[in-house]
Amino acid sequence: MDHGTTRSDPDLAAHITVARRRGVTLLGPPAAAVFAPVPHTDYLAAILDDLAQVLDGGLQESPCYGVLNACRVLMVRGGGPGTVPSTAWHCTPSPPTSGSR
């Protein structure tokens, strides 16, 4: 492994956010004590990038993953935390809107 090479992981902001909020510590300090908080804008950018990749050809390959990502983005953009199971949030019945049956 070349440690002199610059690398990046666009998903890292999302992984750290989820680990800090929902992670279960098996050994050692909790994730919230190890990782600094991720700015919300970085978390949103990470999940939007992930969704863009899915929509750019990966949806047919993994439709469930694509739908769950879309739910997660909708939840975060709607003010939700984005770390609770997206399906539970998205599947919660909403009050009917005007014009709906």
Q: Return the residue matching tokens 């953009």.
A: 77
Output 73 or 2, whichever has higher pLDDT.
73
Alpha helices in the chain (DSSP H): 12-22, 31-34, 40-53, 63-77, 86-90
What pTM was estimated for this model as a whole? Answer: 0.69
pLDDT exceeds 70 at position 101: no
Answer with the residue of higher pLDDT: 11 or 6.
11
How many Cβ atoms are within 10 Å of 5's Cβ, its own excluded?
6
Mean of pLDDT values over 40-64: 88
Q: pLDDT digits over 70-93, tens only?
A: 888 888 888 766 555 545 545 555
Position 85 scores a pLDDT of: 55
Classify burial at 17, counting beta carbons within 10 Å of its beta carbon; exposed 0-12, middle 13-18, buried 19 or more: buried
Question: What residue spans define the domains of the chain?
Answer: 12-90
